[in-house]
């Protein structure tokens, strides 16, 4: 698997990924547009979860292209990319089982969000965040869960409304797993480290 890392560090690949993530982020905020119009101002920052995750990664890629590391952004990126990437995959699969079908947008969301989760983990050897960055990220992530499932600011899948308590429970543990993966791949002693050159 380590053969892939020189490819990931290639400037052309970084530039292509940057363009893809900028486009995905813009589309993501557009997708949330109608919900953001109905969202109280105090919650606006915590509603568009997936595009904000990809926005964090946009800044990670910009830093890499500048041959820098922005650790707090890296921590936010790996945790939120994995969490919301997997969350959206699971929600769209659940929509399929509830409705018996899924439109092309649902399949596109499954593919794009799975790619989000994977890219966040693939770049882990290049991240340089420490414990305190991960603690701040954990607070942000778990606070977002409270906003979503206590104040009901979660992304709207009306056909899944009756499962909101179960989805909230799943999301909490997905947050814990995402934080744990960030520790495992970036902070733990002996983890694999690489430099962007």
Residue-wise pLDDT tens digits, 13-31: 999 999 999 999 999 999 8
Residue-wise pLDDT tens digits, 70-89: 999 999 999 999 999 999 99
Tell me what percent of the residues of the chain surpass a pLDDT of 70: 99
Question: Which residue ranges make up each domain of the chain?
Answer: 4-187
CA-to-CA separations, 162 to 51, 157, 165, in angstroms, rounded: 25, 10, 8
Report the distance separating Cα 134 and Cα 118, nearest Å: 19
Give the dihedral of Cα atoms 115, 21, 86, 196; nearest 10 deg. 70
What pTM value is reported for the model?
0.95
CA-to-CA separations, 39 to 2, 77, 139, 156, in angstroms, rounded: 44, 24, 22, 12
Task: Please compute Rg for the chain using Cα positions.
Answer: 17
Residue-wise pLDDT tens digits, 128-144: 999 999 999 999 999 99
Largest CA distance in the chain: 50
Tokens linked to 160: 């899944």
Residue-wise pLDDT tens digits, 28-61: 999 899 888 988 999 999 999 999 999 999 999 9
State whether residue 173 is helix, strand or coil: helix
Short-list 37, 43, 82, CA closest to 175: 82
Report the distance separating Cα 57 and Cα 76, nearest Å: 8
Q: What is the mean pLDDT of the chain?
A: 94
Q: Which of the residue ranges 14-18, 162-166, 178-182 would you say has the lowest mean pLDDT?
A: 162-166
pLDDT > 70? residue 1: no
Q: Cβ–Cβ contacts within 10 Å for residue 172, how many?
A: 16
Query: Burial code of 155-166, b = ≥16 C-beta within 10 A, e = fewer?
Result: bebeebeeeeee
Residue-wise pLDDT tens digits, 142-160: 999 999 999 988 877 777 8
Short-list 39, 33, 5, CA closest to 196: 5
Half-sphere exposure of 3 (CA within 13 A, CB side): 1
Interacting residues of 136 by C-beta distance below 8 A, sequence separation 6+: 72, 75
């Amino acid at each position: 698997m380590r053969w892939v890392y020189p490819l990931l560090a290639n400037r052309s690949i970084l530039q292509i990924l940057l363009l893809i993530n900028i486009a995905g982020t813009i589309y993501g905020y557009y997708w949330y547009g109608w919900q953001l119009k109905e969202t109280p101002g105090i919650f606006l920052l915590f509603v568009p979860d997936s595009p904000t995750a990809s926005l964090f990664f946009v800044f990670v890629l910009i830093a890499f292209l500048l041959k820098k590391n922005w650790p707090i952004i890296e921590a936010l990126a790996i945790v939120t990319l994995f969490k919301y990437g997997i969350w959206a995959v699971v929600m769209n699969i659940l929509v399929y089982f509830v409705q018996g079908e899924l439109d092309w947008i649902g399949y596109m969301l499954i593919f794009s969000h799975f790619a989000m989760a994977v890219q966040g983990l693939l770049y882990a050897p290049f991240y340089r965040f420490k414990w305190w960055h991960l603690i701040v990220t954990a607070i942000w992530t778990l606070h977002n869960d409270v906003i979503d499932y206590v104040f009901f600011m979660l992304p709207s899948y009306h056909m899944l409304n009756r499962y909101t308590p179960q989805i909230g429970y799943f999301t909490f543990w997905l947050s814990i797993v995402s934080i744990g993966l960030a520790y495992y791949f970036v902070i733990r002693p002996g983890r694999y480290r690489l430099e962007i050159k």
